[in-house]
Structure 1
Amino acid sequence: MKIFINKEVKMLFIALAVVFLFFMILGQITVELAADDYKRNMIFHDYGVAGYLARNELDESQIIRSFTTEKTNDDVKKGRELLQQAGYDSNTQNSLLSAVEHFYHKYALIFLILSITFSVMVCAVFLLFILRQYKRIEKAISDIQAFMAGNVGIRLNDHEEGSLSKLFTSINIMATSQAAHIEKEKQNREFLKDTISDISHQLKTPLAALKMYNEIIQNENCGNDVVDSFTSKIEREIARMESLIQNLLKLAKLDSGSIELEKHTHNLKEFLEETIEGFRTRAKLEGKAIVLHCDEHITMNFDKEWMLEAVSNIIKNALDHTGAKNLIEVRCDETPVFIQITIKDNGMGIHPEDIHHIFKRFYRSRFSKDKQGVGIGLTLSKAIVENHGGTITVESELGKGTAFYLAFPKLSNL
């Protein structure tokens, strides 16, 4: 049977077999002792009968023969009839026969003690087996948690035999593969960060030159409407490229884990008011309204510069996808468990096909009318929120609006 390949199970059954064998031998010894005890009691009883008969002047030779000679069926029948007249038969209560009562109580107690001892020993064997397995599993859980916490060099003890060791070996193989994957992913992220950083820095010089040349052309005031139109377009595109480069650099730093957040406790309402203030002019020019609902006593621990980037990107996204007379609501709520920032608009909403992809970098919806965005703002917001220990989710209904929920567990703000 495959079960006996497991060393722990094999040792368990060996231990149980030893216990059973021990108590089988002990049982045989107890039976022999009981037989000897019964023999002594019977002989002692016969001594009393013989003495009684001798005291009543029966012939001694006849008394001896009555105990030593073989009895016939007629003798047994005659004796039964005689003693039954006095109520002495197999139905007589044990309590009326002191020798039988004593014998019963003595060996009932002995077998009770043996039964209890046997049960305790069997339970002890099972308990030791379970405790040993439990200890190994607890150690394995601790090691796995350490691995998940970042100690990728830790491995489970798989040097023993048995099913657990086979399982631990499989986990170790998986851990080695995962560690290699983590290292490779780390190298890829570092390479991506360096590449984006290098490209971005290389682009800064030609962009600065283009910006300068465009400003020179604008300052010439040549009076050509076509030239003026194109220089304005060039200025907008240069601004877009500068914004994209900056966002790529920020995202690369977040992805590589090279950013150390400088968290401080801030009044959330004051922070959100400052953030919204940067969009007041645009909202007014576009005929839109931004309102804030937030309790002035809510405080949260976060990096102000990075959180400003995260919230600003979402508010900008709301302005990009709402029309004149639309409303953007910013709300903050506090519960015993978390603090939540909600940014909600009543604009065009997100198409159902796009709702699961909006946080992917450079994702552009085929349903979106926005042709100016580069598809990285929401990705950056998500990375910043998650680096603060929070989560970001979105709900939207096409034609009715969109709501972003930024939830930060209070434990992550300690």
Structure 2
Amino acid sequence: MRKISVKIGLLFFCLIFSMEVCLFFLLHQKIAHSRIDEQLSALVTRGNNHRDVLETYYNQETISHIALMEVKSDTEVVIINEQGEVIISSAEMNHQIQNVLNLAKKDISRNGKVIDDNWKSGAYIATVTPFTAGANKGYLYMFQDTGQIKQLMKQLNRHFLIAGIATAFVTAIIILILSRIIAKPLIKMKEATKKLSQGNFSIQLENNSNDELGELAKSIQLLSSELNHLKTERNEFLASISHELRTPLTYIKGYAEVAKRGHLGMDERLSYLKIITEETTKLTTLVTELLELAQLDNNTFTIQKEVFSVYDSLQKVSQKLLPSFKQAEITLLIVCPENIQILADPVRFEQIIVNLLENARKYSPKGTITTVEVAKRNTGIIISIQDQGKGIPSSDIPLIFERFYRVDKSRSRELGGTGLGLAIVKELIDAHHWDIEVSSKINQGSTFTIIVRDES
């Protein structure tokens, strides 16, 4: 993972360093041009000052004085008349100076003009200022050796180089620290995902940031919790299915062995065969429900929705379950307006109601009433199945839709349930995009409420 911190560091360094190089280049150009402009402006001003003195006191002494002043400075002056003849020069005439003097003297204003600013390759920078002193007219040239400017630029380049190296060094250190800070949670996440791949789901990622890294850490933590929950559920499922299959098979095998004995009477043999049949029926029901859950999990089943009457569907369910409710001495009451229709899979809808009613019958004592009530609301249809049974402890309510979960484990075989009915109900409710809520009070009964939202 150290590679990613290096990559992040190099990426940031290249980006920031490129920006710094561009900014330094622009700043250098700006300062260099500013300094050159200052030198040229000062040279023009110096020439204008000499021009003013020359026009005021035009004589040989003034001309000599101007030349003498430039001898003692880092600039040179050359004064020529209108015909181009040199009146005086503070420096020895050479071909560089002569070339400047031979330049065309057009568009030269009284305030002077820069006529040579090539400081990089030329020996001088030069300006010219026209003068008029009575009948005497001419031009006053100012020259400055470019060596001083080149030295100034050299120092400026050296300062920028030192500043650039120092900035790059500081930037590299800061980016190195920042990249390690950024990469540190990524390293922890990599180690966490490695543990997940090895089957260790008990990981803890501490990240209190609200940025993308924090969200990623929370997602990995959530994934770990979900995988740990699934692992626990899988182990419990395998243990439960093993127990649920072993028990009826043990009964079937044991009573089959007993029924094979020759000395048994017909009545006794028939009672054993009846037990074998009951256990076979339970086993068949269990296998059927497991296959159905497998189809629900793999999304290999289809929901064929159509509009049908809820009243008619509940009447069919009532006729189907009424014998078992009468045998249990429990009253089944259907309260549903005849004009309510619903968009759903009619077969799956009946399966949901049957499973919930069977669950109510198993856990309700004799002489009680189980009521199915349907009402239309603004947001859809509410279907409530209320019994007067033993109730569900509040701590068990969040778990009743899990597979093989039973509230009363001691009476599970007596009641004949597989612990899969409510799990199938929940899967079918989710497949229809409905909601189901449960409320219960001990020894007063439970209410399962299906919320069917209007899809029109």
Q: State the TM bucket, normalised to the shorter chain.
A: 0.5 to 0.7
How far the C-alpha of 1:252 sits from its partner, in A, is 2.4
DSSP 3-state at the match of 1:394: strand
Map 1:224-373 to 2 at 5 A: 237=275, 240-257=278-295, 260-266=300-306, 267=308, 269=310, 270-283=312-325, 286=329, 288-293=331-336, 296-301=340-345, 304=347, 307-320=349-362, 321-331=364-374, 341-352=383-394, 354-359=396-401, 360-361=403-404, 363=406, 365=408, 372-373=414-415
Aligned match of 2:441: 397
Map 1:1-400 to 2 at 5 A: 5-58=5-58, 59-65=62-68, 170=191, 173=194, 176-177=197-198, 237=275, 240-257=278-295, 260-266=300-306, 267=308, 269=310, 270-283=312-325, 286=329, 288-293=331-336, 296-301=340-345, 304=347, 307-320=349-362, 321-331=364-374, 341-352=383-394, 354-359=396-401, 360-361=403-404, 363=406, 365=408, 372-377=414-419, 379-386=420-427, 389-390=430-431, 392-400=436-444
Could you tell me whether the CA contact under 8 Å between 1:291 and 1:329 is conserved in 2? yes
Question: Cα deviations across residues 13-39 of structure 1 (Å, max 9, x unaligned)?
Answer: 233123313432442332222111111
How far the C-alpha of 1:50 sits from its partner, in A, is 1.8
Question: More helix by proportion, 1 or 2?
Answer: 1
How far the C-alpha of 1:54 sits from its partner, in A, is 1.6
How far the C-alpha of 1:314 sits from its partner, in A, is 1.8
**Whole-Å separation in 2 of the counterparts to 1:310 and 1:29:** 81
Change (3 A) 1:388 1:325: closer
**Whole-Å separation in 1 of the counterparts to 2:394 and 2:426:** 24
**Whole-Å separation in 1 of the counterparts to 2:197 and 2:384:** 42
How far the C-alpha of 1:41 sits from its partner, in A, is 1.0
Aligned match of 1:112: none
How far the C-alpha of 1:401 sits from its partner, in A, is 1.6
**Whole-Å separation in 1 of the counterparts to 2:274 and 2:400:** 24
Aligned match of 1:102: none
**Whole-Å separation in 2 of the counterparts to 1:204 and 1:254:** 24
DSSP 3-state at the match of 2:439: strand
Unmatched 5+ residue regions in structure 1?
A: 71-97, 100-161, 211-215, 219-226
How far the C-alpha of 1:248 sits from its partner, in A, is 1.0
Change (3 A) 1:280 1:385: same
How far the C-alpha of 1:301 sits from its partner, in A, is 3.2
DSSP 3-state at the match of 1:331: strand
TM-score by length of 2: 0.50
Could you tell me whether the CA contact under 8 Å between 1:289 and 1:327 is conserved in 2? yes
**Whole-Å separation in 2 of the counterparts to 1:171 and 1:393:** 36
How far the C-alpha of 1:48 sits from its partner, in A, is 1.9
How far the C-alpha of 1:407 sits from its partner, in A, is 5.3
| Letter of the structure 2 residue corresponding to residue 245 of structure 1 | L
Q: Which has the larger radius of gyration?
A: 2
**Whole-Å separation in 2 of the counterparts to 1:292 and 1:239:** 37
Aligned match of 1:118: none
| Letter of the structure 1 residue corresponding to residue 6 of structure 2 | N
Change (3 A) 1:283 1:203: closer
**Whole-Å separation in 2 of the counterparts to 1:335 and 1:169:** 50
Could you tell me whether the CA contact under 8 Å between 1:349 and 1:396 is conserved in 2? yes
Could you tell me whether the CA contact under 8 Å between 2:384 and 2:448 is conserved in 1? yes
TM-score by length of 1: 0.54
Could you tell me whether the CA contact under 8 Å between 1:318 and 1:328 is conserved in 2? no
DSSP 3-state at the match of 2:305: strand
DSSP 3-state at the match of 1:264: coil
Could you tell me whether the CA contact under 8 Å between 2:237 and 2:404 is conserved in 1? no
**Whole-Å separation in 1 of the counterparts to 2:426 and 2:309:** 15
Change (3 A) 1:348 1:5: closer
**Whole-Å separation in 1 of the counterparts to 2:244 and 2:418:** 14
Could you tell me whether the CA contact under 8 Å between 1:291 and 1:328 is conserved in 2? yes
| RMSD across aligned positions (CA) | 5.3
Could you tell me whether the CA contact under 8 Å between 2:374 and 2:381 is conserved in 1? no
| Letter of the structure 1 residue corresponding to residue 424 of structure 2 | A
DSSP 3-state at the match of 2:415: coil
**Whole-Å separation in 1 of the counterparts to 2:251 and 2:410:** 31
DSSP 3-state at the match of 1:403: strand
DSSP 3-state at the match of 2:335: strand
Question: More strand by proportion, 1 or 2?
Answer: 2
Could you tell me whether the CA contact under 8 Å between 1:392 and 1:404 is conserved in 2? yes
DSSP 3-state at the match of 1:343: strand
DSSP 3-state at the match of 1:248: helix
